[in-house]
Amino acid sequence: MNVDTNGFALGDVVRDTITGLEGTITGIHLYTTGCARVTLQARIGSDGKVPEGAGSDVLTLEMVKAGPRQEPDRAIGGPRRDPTLRPNPLR
């Protein structure tokens, strides 16, 4: 299934046109229903606290500033083995 994110990508700074929340996209969530939502991380407040991330639908977002477009480094995080597939014991 190909889910449309309206061209938004991780690192983009966007504004939700309904709530007015502005933040950086830190997560993109794709659902089997075809819905795409993002997690927005707002800037640190004047009190020095980091606000919690908030979810928004991609259809309500507008671009403020495009983030860097680069492929993630898949080699970071240490060595990994391929997962071993086993029969599901619950079936």
Task: Give the model confidence (pLDDT) of 27-68 as tens digits.
Answer: 999 888 888 999 999 998 889 888 888 999 999 999 999 988
* Percentage, residues of the chain above pLDDT 90: 44
The pLDDT value recorded for residue 2 is 67
- Which residue in this structure is represented by tokens 């599901």? 88
Q: How far apart are CA 87 and CA 42, in angstroms?
A: 43
Mean pLDDT, range 64-80, rounded to an integer: 71
The pLDDT value recorded for residue 40 is 95
Q: Is the pLDDT of residue 5 over 90?
A: no
